[in-house]
Structure 1
């Protein structure tokens, strides 16, 4: 509601968040469907939570399309994307009482051990192929799209002149760490980083002696490096959001599976080696 008050009181806010759209026409739909719907959802009305969440996602998508076509309302797009994400989380709590992170590892993404009778070279080759696909998508295609949208939506921010050099340095160092970690996992653990073909042995050698998931550390750092190279704060934010999602949604599931499969061995490893900060 505070945003709508600012829209009607400040032409600058109205232009930055709605562009040339008629605020009265937008408010006529948004206030009852989102503002009032969210208020009712907070009181536990499930139908209102569904309507408010669905409406927010629809507005975010429509405003993103509008901004991409017109180069207007870029700030409004970012606000609506954040609102849609928060609304989705709220919907989970209203309907389920929690966020069902276990849905992430269902179907083709369910945790399964790799075929133990395959030679190490097979696992290493599969791991390298996976890295090429993942890096190409998450470190090239997605960042380039985000960077283009950032420019198109006119939400770019100035970056220091050394950002590209710093980003390239981070990218190279993190890539070396990522490759070393992946090859160590494949050769020592008889498996791959994919949930559907996980290692058959707990890997505590190489980079895994210092942090529990060096591939996650490498991936997040690579994302930040790419963002600095592109001069895109949104790509850097994309990498940081990825770190939060991995840490709070994926990591607990992965470590629960490791504890189930390796028992005391993993418990001792977890108690000794930290997740993000290397031990000295």
Structure 2
């Protein structure tokens, strides 16, 4: 896939997936109205803001890497032609899912809304099942030993402390 098409496809999928999952749905649930902070602790709001600030660039960077390095998109209908193992992918195999859930949990903490915590937990569970049952077998079939090396060295959900470097 040409880079231009990959960038446009990734941008379109960005609007369809992360923006809806981590933007529209949380707004629909909360209308971004502040409730009392969890356990009455204002610090939870600051932690929530930090999760949002950390999550958004993680999603954007990962989407850009899919288009510019992988020559594809994160969308299953237009997957990358090359395995992406740079950026946040040196630390964890699923930075997009982690970042999206971080933004949702961040909003839950910021707005003090338990419903968003439940939504984020259910979405993470869906992501986990998707990764294990669909995504990982597809990547193994598509990229073979290159993916196996990546999978062996980079954890699925909990980031490494040091970056992995593909040989």
TM range (shorter): 0.7 to 0.9
Q: 1:221 maps to what in 2?
A: 102
1:275 and 1:146 map into 2 onto residues whose CA distance is 29
- Name the structure, 1 or 2, with higher relative contact order (CA <8 Å, separation 6+): 2
Tell which structure's C-alpha radius of gyration is larger: 1
RMSD of aligned residue pairs (Cα, Å):
1.9
Q: 2:131 maps to what in 1?
A: 251
Moved over 4 A (4+): none
Question: Which of 116, 125, 140 is the equivalent residue of 2:8?
Answer: 125
Question: Which of 228, 238, 260 is the equivalent residue of 2:141?
Answer: 260
Q: 1:50 maps to what in 2?
A: none
Q: 1:230 maps to what in 2?
A: 111
Task: Give the C-alpha shift of residue 146 in structure 1.
Answer: 2.3
Question: How does the TM-score come out when normalised to structure 2?
Answer: 0.85
Task: Give the C-alpha shift of residue 158 in structure 1.
Answer: 5.1
8 Å Cα contact 1:220/1:243 also seen in 2: yes
8 Å Cα contact 1:189/1:202 also seen in 2: yes
8 Å Cα contact 2:22/2:101 also seen in 1: no
Q: 1:146 maps to what in 2?
A: 29
Structure 2, unaligned runs of 5 or more: 162-167
Specify the SS of the correspondent of 2:17.
helix
8 Å Cα contact 2:37/2:44 also seen in 1: no
Matches within 5 A, 1:69-148: 116=1, 118=2, 120-147=3-30
The count of aligned residue pairs is: 156
Question: How does the TM-score come out when normalised to structure 1?
Answer: 0.52
1:59-101: CA deviations, max 9, x gaps?
Answer: xxxxxxxxxxxxxxxxxxxxxxxxxxxxxxxxxxxxxxxxxxx
2:89 and 2:27 map into 1 onto residues whose CA distance is 31
1:154-209: CA deviations, max 9, x gaps?
Answer: xx875222232221221011111111111111111110010100001111111111
- Cα distance, 1:215–1:226 mapped onto 2, change above 3 Å: same
